[in-house]
Amino acid sequence: MKSPPTRARASTSRRLTVVVPAIERLREWKPWLEWAGQLPTIALQEKVSAALDALPRGREPSPPGERFRRTVLAAMPDIEAMELVDRPLL
């Protein structure tokens, strides 16, 4: 198990990797390093994203029910494949 100072360093280094894009683009390092020491990673990422006008990562938001619709359609049999199976052999 990591000791508390080692865990704190790992956490801080994770937060520093979050602020690197902001420092590179905005060329202001002092406030970002202060925020990296004070804010939790999620809040820091939101601050960086807002400063860079970046969209959140991950899946794009979809309308309600879209995931359910895709799941149902994926579970349905393919009509063309069913017709091929139902054809008599020549």
Q: In sequence order, what E strands does 15-63 have?
A: none
Closest-CA residue to 21 (of 43, 50, 52): 52
Confidence (pLDDT) at 4:
45
Q: State pLDDT tens for residues 15-63.
A: 888 899 899 998 988 999 899 989 998 899 999 999 988 866 666 677 8
Could you tell me the CA-to-CA distances from 65 to 26, 59, 60, 61 in Å, in that order? 40, 15, 14, 11
Domain residues of the chain, as ranges? 4-86
Residue 12 token pair: 């801080």
d(CA 38, CA 34) in angstroms, rounded, equals 6
Max avg pLDDT among 12-16, 27-31, 77-81: 27-31
31 or 10, which is more confident? 31
Q: In sequence order, what E strands does the chain have?
A: none
Confidence (pLDDT) at 81:
73
